[in-house]
Structure 1
C-alpha cells in the first residue's frame, strides 16, 4: 500500500480522534479492557531450597495467605531464585516441575503407622510420631550400645541404627546433624544426595 504524506496525516488524525472519543466516553465501555493484575502481586514469597539433589538450588515459592496464620495457604507458583549463589535463578527440569510434586495426590502430608501384621496404614499425629521414634531409638540404643570393646578401650558405639540425611541442607545444618548423630554413638551416617 502506497501512502503519501497527506494520506499519512489523515490516518494519524483519524486515530487521534478515535482514541480521544473513546477517552471522552463516547464509545462503549468495552473499549477499555481491564488490565489483568500481576499474578504474584498479592502472594507471599518464601525462599527455600530445592529438595531433589545435593546441588541446593534456590527457590522462590509463592502462596496466597500466610502459612503461619492460615493453614490453607496454597503454593501456586515456584521459580528459581535469581539472588541465590548456587543456581542464580536456574532450575533443572525436576526443580522446574516442583509445583506438580507439591500438589500430587500421592504426596504424604501426615505421619502414618502400620502395626505389625496389619495391612492398613493409620494416620497419627506428629507428636505421636516423634514420641514413637524417640521411644524406639532409646530402646534400641539402650539394648545395643557398646561402651567398651573387647580390649577394655572406651568406644561408645551404637552400631544397630544408622542415619540418612539430606545433603541439600546448609553446611551449618549438616554440621549440627553430624554432631548430634555422632554424640549418640552412631557410626552409620550418610548425607545422601537423592533422598
Structure 2
C-alpha cells in the first residue's frame, strides 16, 4: 500500500513539474510574442519538453492558453483577497480589493495575457467561466459588507454584476491607454464616489461608522 501511494505521489509530482514547465513557458511566449505568433514547437522547446509530453497534458494551444489565463485569474484573486483582508472594515476592504485589482492590471504580463491576448484566444463563454471565481469573490465581499452594516441590504447579484463589470471596463481602458497612471488615478477617484454612493454616503467609507460615531 505504501509503495503504491508513493508511486502515485511521484507520478503526481512529475505531472505537476511537466505541466508547470509547459504553462510557464507558454505564458512567457504568449506575453512576448502573442497568442497567434506562438507555436507549439516554441512552447515545447522553451519548456525543454517533447510534443508527446505536451499532448499528454494539453489538447492544443487554446487548451494551454486557457490554463495560463486561469492561473493568472487565480493570482489576481489572491491579490484582491489579501487587500480585502488587510482592512479591518469590510467596506474599506472592498475598496482596497478593487484598487488592488486595477493596480495589478498595470503589470505588463497581466495586461498582455488577461486584457489583450485572452479575448482573441478564448471565446466569451470560456472567459466568463474562468472569471466566475473572481466575481464570486466580489459577491462574498459584498455579502460580508452587508452583514457588517456597511451598506444597506440589497440583492447581491445585480450589485455584483454592476461593480464587477465596471472594474472590468476600467481595466480594458487601462490596457488601451498610453497614459495608464492618469487613467488609473481618475478611475480610482470615480470608483470611490461610486462605492460611497452604494454605501449611502457622500464620501467613501463604511456607512455604519456614522451610526457608531453619532
TM-score range, shorter chain: under 0.3
* TM-score, normalised by the number of residues in structure 2: 0.23
Kindly indicate whether structure 1 or structure 2 has the higher relative contact order, using CA contacts under 8 Å at least 6 residues apart: 2
Which is greater in Rg? 1
Which one has the bigger helix percentage? 2
Which structure's residues are more often strand, by fraction? 1
Q: What is the TM-score normalised by the length of structure 1?
A: 0.25
